[in-house]
Amino acid sequence: MVKLEKPRGPVGESVRRNDVNEKVTGAAIYADDIRFGKDLLYGRIKRSPHPHARIKSIDTSAAENYPGVKVVITGADFPNHIGLYLKDKYIFARNRVRFVGEPVAAVAAVSEEIAEKAVDLIEVTYEPLEPVFDPEYGATPEAPLIHPNLADYEVPNFIFPQAGTNIANHFKIRKGDTEVAWDECAAIVERKFRVPHVQHVPIEPHVAVAQMSEDGKVTVWAASQSPFAQRNSFAKALDISQSDIRVIAPYVGGGFGCKAGVTMEALPVALATKANGRPVKVRLTREEEFYTNFVRQGLVIHMKVGCDADGNLLAMENKMYWDGGASTEYGVNITRAGGYSSTGPYDIPNVKTDSLCVYTNHPIGGAYRGFGMSELHTAVDQCMDELAEKIGMDKVAFNKLNCVSAGDKLVTGMTMHPHGLQECIDKVAAALDWGKPAPASGPGKKRGKGIALAWKAPAMPPNAGSSARLQMNEDGTATLSVGGQEIGQGA
């Protein structure tokens, strides 16, 4: 009898990372490591000191005449709107600024020191306007309009801005009749939650280099999570074909969502179009990372949920005010994701959801490790905890009773597929010794136990399609090629 050896392959085994040698030896090349020689120009940005103001005048003459300065640009040079979904921003502000740190002008010079000095010479006169900092207030008719021309912006058919308001997207879901269901509830919990902005703070700050060749083709080297989205936006901003733009993303030193879409990468691209073929680098300082870059959107959420005396969930109403910031980028789609996932992984027969992305004069809201899911679920499951406690029901039993099961009709109309969630709850409860007191970690201290459910539905549109190529090799191994960007996750 011949004993067959176990085939060598990736299934069920750890796989050595392809980049491990370069990263542990320091040989890995990141965007800031790429050398372009003596022709490289350095860009610095003139930014708004006001959260909301009209631009009355811009005087760039002193910067233009400063020795070593090669390029000076303003919003007048780039009139096209850009944006990932809703085209609601400019590369440089035109006529109005909408957050502290918004780019107003830029210079490119032969050194960073010269660029820094020259950008300070640009004089901008402003007329301050009333700002909006609370998304709930921003959604009211009394709030000053941040985008008076919202009706004129280009928008895809799955985003629903409300012209004449600060609402960049209003996503609705209705299932059953919540008004009737409230009368049938034995217990109701109603709460309001506020989740603040959070900055990603990757180890590597944002940096990008752009160069335009004599034939008008643009090459960009950027620390980027989504080079194709950037290529599309650059083409729109410059009125050139996508085939004339190439975005190269080397190793990325962490992203967590802040390097998705277009953050600062359009700035060196704009400078490069006026640099006579010379490459232009823009590198953000750590300070700029905090006040000029994408943040996780803040959220104000009103939630009401009720159940019968046996613990069966009967109704939920939630209204979410997402702080989209001065422009939306990913914010309008995070609003959709929050709406689709608004019930959490619970089977609820009557649901009323309103998810609103609201313009404010905060930094632009973007993706952040979960696409809105952690913000939403912190509210959902706190209410579920209180509801179970209110009727005197064990939380594990409450979760198992109400979690979605295979065949359930979800709030979106989709039929739920098999998933093993109840089995997962049982295993977690067993691992926690659920029902038994947790030993104290020290004198005068107490420890508690909790269990929560969540799901993630990023709600990406069809233009985010993915593909992969799997090749089976002669020795039993497999080679998998995917189009996703590696930002530290190891694949």
pLDDT in tens, 123-153: 999 999 999 999 999 999 999 999 999 999 9
pLDDT digits (tens, 9 = 90+) for 290-331: 999 999 999 999 999 999 999 999 999 999 999 999 999 899
- Which of 201-205, 239-243, 264-268, 458-462 has the lowest average pLDDT? 458-462
CATH architecture, domain defined by 37-129+201-292: Alpha-Beta Complex (3.90)
* Predicted confidence band of residue 456 (pLDDT cuts 50, 70, 90): confident
How far is Cα 299 from Cα 379, in angstroms, rounded to an integer? 10
Q: Indicate whether 460 pLDDT > 70.
A: no
pTM value?
0.93
Count of beta carbons in the 10 Å neighbourhood of residue 177: 12
**Which ranges in the chain are annotated with CATH 3.30.365.10?**
151-198+295-431
Average pLDDT over residues 180-207: 96
Of 97, 98, 120, nearest to 44 by C-alpha is 120
Q: Which of 371, 155, 145 is nearest to 257 (CA)?
A: 371
For residue 5, pLDDT beyond 70: no
Q: Kindly report the CATH number that applies to the domain delimited by 151-198+295-431.
A: 3.30.365.10
Written as six digits, the tokens of 248 are: 């190269």
Kindly report, as residue ranges, where domains of CATH 3.90.1170.50 are found in the chain: 37-129+201-292
Top-ranked range on mean pLDDT: pick from 263-267, 278-282, 456-460: 278-282
Backbone angles phi, psi at 154, to 5 degrees: -70, 135
What pLDDT is attached to residue 462? 47
Mean pLDDT of 392-409: 97
The residue-averaged pLDDT of 267-279 equals 98
Q: Please give the C-alpha separations between residue 362 and each of 9, 22, 196, 290, in angstroms, as whole numbers.
A: 50, 39, 12, 11
The pLDDT, as a whole number, for residue 458 is: 65
- pLDDT, residue 480, reads 83
Which tokens in the block code for residue 483? 């189009």
Residues ≥6 apart with Cβ < 8 Å to 113: none
Q: What is the pLDDT of residues 31-73, one digit of tens each?
A: 999 999 999 999 999 999 999 999 999 999 999 999 999 999 9
Q: 378: which 2 tokens?
A: 């912190």
pLDDT per residue as tens digits for the range 79-111: 999 999 999 999 999 999 999 999 999 999 999
